[in-house]
């Protein structure tokens, strides 16, 4: 099985996708690829929730909320700089 990691952009989360209406548009290509091949996905998001996966049309996508493992800082500049560093410390 092929494992693919998707690292979200700075301060982007599943909640952001749902709020601005782009959730279904963004997730559809991954669901289509999963149907044809044995691929599993792990989304690294800037969420703070504890949800470990999302289920969409009987497909499960693993979620890793960055702020579950790393602290959330109020300083936007610091969060921006750390967004380049965090991916190197997650597995």
Q: Report the C-alpha gap between 23 and 89 in whole angstroms.
A: 26
Write down the pTM of the prediction. 0.78
Average pLDDT over residues 70-74: 90
Nearest to 42 by CA among 56, 31, 53, 33: 53
Residue-wise pLDDT tens digits, 12-57 = 888 888 899 888 888 888 878 777 677 888 888 888 766 677 776 6
């Amino acid at each position: 099985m092929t494992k693919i990691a998707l690292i979200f952009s700075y301060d982007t989360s599943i909640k952001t996708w749902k709020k601005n209406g782009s959730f279904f548009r963004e997730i559809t290509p991954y669901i289509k690829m999963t149907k044809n091949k044995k691929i599993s996905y792990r989304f690294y998001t800037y969420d703070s929730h504890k949800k470990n996966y999302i289920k969409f049309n009987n497909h499960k996508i693993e979620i890793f909320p960055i702020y579950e493992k790393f602290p959330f800082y109020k300083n936007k500049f610091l969060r921006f700089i750390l967004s380049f560093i965090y991916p190197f410390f997650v597995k």
